[in-house]
Every structure is written in structure tokens, then in C-alpha cells.
Amino acid sequence: MSGWRIPADVAHVATDETVFVAPVPDGPIYTLTGVSAVIWAAAGSQTANVAQRVATELDVPETDIAGQVAQFIDELCGLGLLEPLPTDPE
């Protein structure tokens, strides 16, 4: 089971419709709106849970958006705005 978290060096501020996210102290500032803001809000969940939340809010089948949600989470990780949770050694 995997999940994500916001790194300690990333600041974020949310309004009703927009999330501003930036690595601190040097930025840049990213603006997330619409679906990207919904995905960000659910960032602490597993990909499937995030896709389910977005699907519910948009009233679309989860299977139609799950791949795009996972891709966006990968992009956020690539930008350093999210990081995978450490896995527990077994």
C-alpha cells in the first residue's frame, strides 16, 4: 500500500477554489485549480482513493480518470511537491 505526503520544505495555502504550492524558500509557486486542487487535497491517500474522490466530485466513472490521477501525482512527486510515504520493511 502506498501513499504520499507533503515534504517539510513545501508550503501550501488553500482558498475555496485554488491551492498555492511552493518549495521554500526558492519556489516557484504553483497554482492548482479544479481537478488538480481536488487531487492535492487528497494527496495523503492512496492513488485509488484519490481517483475515487475526484470521480465522485466530477460525477464520472473512476476507471475513466484513475490513470490521469496517478500521472498527476507522479508529476507532483517529480516537482518535489509530494513524496512517497516510506515503506515499512517486512
Please report, for the domain that includes residue 56, its CATH number: 1.10.10
- If one counts the domains in the chain, the total is 1
- 26, with CB counted inside 10 A (0-12, 13-18, 19+), is exposed
Whole-angstrom distance, CA of residue 32 vs CA of residue 36: 5
The answer to whether position 90 is within a domain reads no
Domain region containing 33: 4-84
Average pLDDT along the chain = 88
The answer to whether position 89 is within a domain reads no
The cell for 61 is 466513472
The answer to whether position 59 is within a domain reads yes
Q: Strand 4-5 and strand 83-84: pairing? A: antiparallel
Q: What is the tens place of the pLDDT at every residue in 15-51?
A: 999 999 999 999 999 999 999 998 988 876 655 688 8
Whole-angstrom distance, CA of residue 56 vs CA of residue 69: 13
The cell for 20 is 498555492
SS3 state at 1: coil
Prediction pTM value: 0.84
Instruction: Check pLDDT > 90 for residue 84.
Output: no
